[in-house]
A and B are shown apart, each in its own frame.
Chain A
Amino acid sequence: MTAHTVSSSSSPHRYVIIGNGVAGNQAAEGLRDRDPEGQVTIITNSRLLFYNRYRLPQLFLGHQDWRELLAHSVAHYQQRRIRVRRDSRVVGVDAVRRQVLLAHHEPVAYDTLLVATGGRWHLPEELADGRHLLHGFGSYEQALAVRDALPDRGTVVMLGGDMIGLDLARVLLTADCRVILVTHETTFWPHLVSPEQRAGHLACVQRMGIEVVDGDAMGGVVAIEPGSAGLPARRVRFRSGGDLYGDVVMPFYGLTPLVEFMVGSGVDIERGLLVSPMLRTSDPRIFAAGDVCQIWSEQAHAYRFYYGYQNVRAMGAVAALNMTGGDEHFSTTQDETLGQDAQGHIDSPFWVYD
């Protein structure tokens, strides 16, 4: 039952972390502190070392070299002997053999595994055909692609409008862009907002300078198309027949946990990986942390997601403790209320990071 063997020098314990975000990197540091002899490996799809995606909107405030986004120096990884396998896609986890399988047909053996893959931008099924015409905002490369596609004083159409999108919108406005928000049930995700609060918040959004289009009233978005000659590059069509033009159309419908590769591993999955408050999955050697997991809440008597920089970082720390024999429960002090600032603009605790 126990996976809590701390390394001996003859056989270092192999900790493998899938995911190179806040949770994964926090866990890696914790593991190194707790087990100086252990082998710590982060596996990521990205070509870059860990960078803070909360800072991506700043790309629109003048050019920044990607190196300035990096959370840690190269020396950080070297000194802590944290291996980062970049540009490596995980296609499966074999819980019996205790191997992570990479797309290039290489297995990576683990003694204890942490899944911290986070989420990817969600897209309603009816928009799947127009996927290639949309600009995501999940990575540095995607953010730069948006910047390159956006002319001076260009127009960005935001579909949905979760808090990641609204964070970007704030910055785009200061960069003299026009932002059109097409509302959806996911607007303000992951805040849970009642209908009454919603109207007030939307008013705030308009006050900030964002144009708001009531998506539901238009029957919802049905298609994304290339713009015609002389018009902006993208056209958004509504079921009602109306349309909208923008240089860039960005989906902000919240995040979907990145768990496909865990199907077949045998661990319990609902939408995310189901974990105990100690962040252990149904496999004692596999833990999960961050946006990818749903944690059992005694209070709610249900599995639920916990978002936000603070929560995710706390999960990384707890996972590291428990992967090295600890017995810590995840707990949160995260404020989840959407509020307003002095200027009457919306202000979210999820925008806070350090």
Chain B
Amino acid sequence: MSIMEKPVFVDVKLQEVRESGRLEYRSRALPTWCPGCGYFAIVEGVTHACNEMGIAQDQAVVVSGIGCSSRFPFFVNLFGFHTLHGRVLPVATGIKTANDTLTVIGVGGDGDGFAIGGGHIAHAAKRNVDMTYLLFDNGIYGLTKGQTSPLSAVGLRTSTSPFDNPERPLNPLLMVLAYGASWVGQAYAGRPDQLREMITQAIAHRGFSYLHILSPCVTFDKTSKTYVNLGMQVRDLPVGHDTGNRLVAMQQAEDLDNPAIGVYYQQLLPTLADTFDQVAARASGEAGV
């Protein structure tokens, strides 16, 4: 599995990538991220997934908030809406309400999703909006050059916590599981193949899918969520993990020291569109009486 097993030659790889059709999903804009940023892997993952699934470029919308990760829409050749800080989910909900047939992918960072926009996740999960939410967790505010985020580890020194972060981080997976999201998974940008597979599954899920992506900030975090640290900490979910059991999923999510990678939980539930249809059917039925 490891890329170290067999040598890879660049021209062969390029040829393979060009032929795959995946580049059609890349925009001409070059990403503004720092060299080595985990987010490059996410772009690769999304374009790969869209390509694999045969999603037409003009039938997909990427919605983002504000932050490093939220620049994402400019780097893919899909429809995109770079909205306001924290408002990925309500804007995406509006888009899905207007047009069910679109594939909607929300992207945002940990500050965008769990600080300013924290109130929206519960409602998008509860409504089971048929979309995918990719949460890029680097545990820091990168675009504004390194401030503490609600997912920053205890003791992380940043420009806004110069005496080290005294607060405990949130447990995002536990929260999203408790909100009743119908698909919950975690991936690590340092394992691109697995990441790509997880993104594909998340998009394929009918309903609200939440994928938490651990990703180092190579510029502002040299001590906490580094490739070295995360590489040592992450583990796979146990073999035979029951994705239909939310309590088991929550038990796994409890472990923040050794985050587990994989699909925690999935369940098929009526989506927001289903509930709209149901209401319309009842309304027209009543009108006929």
Do A and B touch, yes or no (CB under 8 Å, in the complex)?
no
